[in-house]
Amino acid sequence: MPGRLDFGGNGRRRIEDASALVVGLGGLGSQAAVYLTAAGVGKIGVVDYDSVQLSNLQRQVYYNVGDLGRPKADVLAERLAELNPLVEVRTYNLRLTSGNALEIIGEYDVVVDGSDNYPTRYLISDACTLLGKPYIYGSIYRYYGQVTIFQPPAGPCYRCLYPRPPPPGVMPSCADGGVMGPLPGLVGSLQACEALKMILGIGRPLVGRLLLLDLSGTVFGELSIAKDANCPACGSNPTIRDLQDYEAFCGSAADGVWEVTPEELADMLARGERVMLVDVREEFEREICRIDGSVSIPLSRLWDEIGRLAGAGKIILYCHRGYQSRMAAQMLREIGFGMVWSLKGGIEGWAEAVDPSIPRY
């Protein structure tokens, strides 16, 4: 194949003998699968139970209007076969579940996660931990992306980064929250690159390192992820020995897990606790009203100014009514900030319960 990168005879054989499973065939998974196929990975499994929708095409460029209504797994398998007929492509038109994950994942060397929901991420992580498989993780939101490799015991698992799921409804999907079209292509390409590095045993894979992308400012950063010695999946004394009901696990998160009430915040401040109170609203909203002692880091600039949060004690975020601050708190939790909460009800709730002198808007 002219123009391909020469990894030498042993490297080429390792790629041809390798296998990769891609779960979720949206913008991330479809991109990763294409590059792994082009590289000549011998066997590729593609898992998705969804069909092609018109709203997908803005960011899932391997589908077109002629594919609308067809299963994504079938459409992508056809594209991959056209791209490289030497690759064995296995199609799974199904939802990955606790009942089939160990059997399916067990057939592959690496797993690339292109999913967009928490139950599937926990499921993949636990299955890969139990089977000793590298888990190539990627996620996207608006302009922001993340990539890492979870690989116990060499590095942490997904639960080390994200011990508990967020309350239902905190994090919107790509369809609800929006995403810059090229972002999933970039993140999916990085996932394919990390998978190839793991297969070949070359370079410095992102094990224990979380790569952060912010396309709004074209900024790339990195955070270290430590193993959690008390992790129930990969810690010193793991308690997770089998897969569980992940829909129930993620659905059981209480609405208050990531929030503090206005009364609780008032008590913290009265006791003199070390609290960094962060206003994530835009500046024009802050000019109308604010909570005394808070600092301004609008959600639109959070990624650029994330360094201001380093070394803080408890971080309490607030917005107008609490939705944006919950979303921001979850984003920070996911990248390793462990002591972050959202003010329940936002500044409206604070005005109602604590300080009625604050004007409403």
Cβ–Cβ under 8 Å, residues 199 and 14 = yes
Q: Which of 3-12, 157-166, 189-198 has the lowest mean pLDDT?
A: 3-12
Residue 284 CB-density burial (10 A; 0-12 exposed, 13-18 middle, 19+ buried): exposed
Phi, psi of 246 (to 5 degrees): -80, -25
Position 256 pLDDT exceeds 60: no
Position 349 pLDDT exceeds 90: yes
Percent of the chain surpassing pLDDT 90: 67
**pLDDT band for position 95 (cuts 50, 70, 90):** very high
| Sequence spans of domains, the chain | 8-251, 259-353
CA–CA dist 322, 23 (Å, integer): 33
**β-bridge pairing 135-141 and 144-150:** antiparallel
Position 56 pLDDT exceeds 60: yes
Position 6 pLDDT exceeds 90: no
CA–CA dist 279, 290 (Å, integer): 8
Cross-strand partners of 277: 316
Cis peptide bond N-terminal to 262, omega within 30:
no
Q: Looking at the annotation, which residues are catalytic?
A: 174, 319
Three-state SS string over 83-95 comes to: HCCCCEEEEECCC
Of 5 and 2, more confident: 5
What mean pLDDT comes out for the span 319-333? 85
Position 328 pLDDT exceeds 90: no
What mean pLDDT comes out for the span 190-204? 96
What mean pLDDT comes out for the span 234-241? 94
- Collect all residues with Cβ–Cβ distance below 8 Å to 158 and sequence separation of at least 6: 121, 122, 124, 125, 135, 137, 150
> Across all residues in the chain, what is the average pLDDT?
89
Position 92 pLDDT exceeds 80: yes
Out of 189-198, 255-264, 325-334, the most confident range is 189-198
Percent of the chain surpassing pLDDT 70: 92
User: What single-letter DSSP state applies at residue 154?
Assistant: T
- Strands, sheet with 209-214, edge to edge from the N-terminal-most edge strand: 88-92, 43-47, 19-23, 110-113, 135-141, 144-150, 209-214, 219-224
Position 338 pLDDT exceeds 80: no
- What pLDDT was estimated at residue 172? 53
Residue with tokens 């959690």: 228
Of the CATH numbers 3.40.50.300, 3.40.250.10, 3.40.50.720, 3.20.20.70, which one belongs to the domain with range 259-353? 3.40.250.10
**pLDDT band for position 2 (cuts 50, 70, 90):** very low
Q: Which of 146-155, 252-261, 275-284 has the lowest mean pLDDT?
A: 252-261
Superfamily of domain 8-251: NAD(P)-binding Rossmann-like Domain (3.40.50.720)
**pLDDT band for position 73 (cuts 50, 70, 90):** very high
Q: Which of 67-81, 88-102, 253-267, 306-320 has the lowest mean pLDDT?
A: 253-267
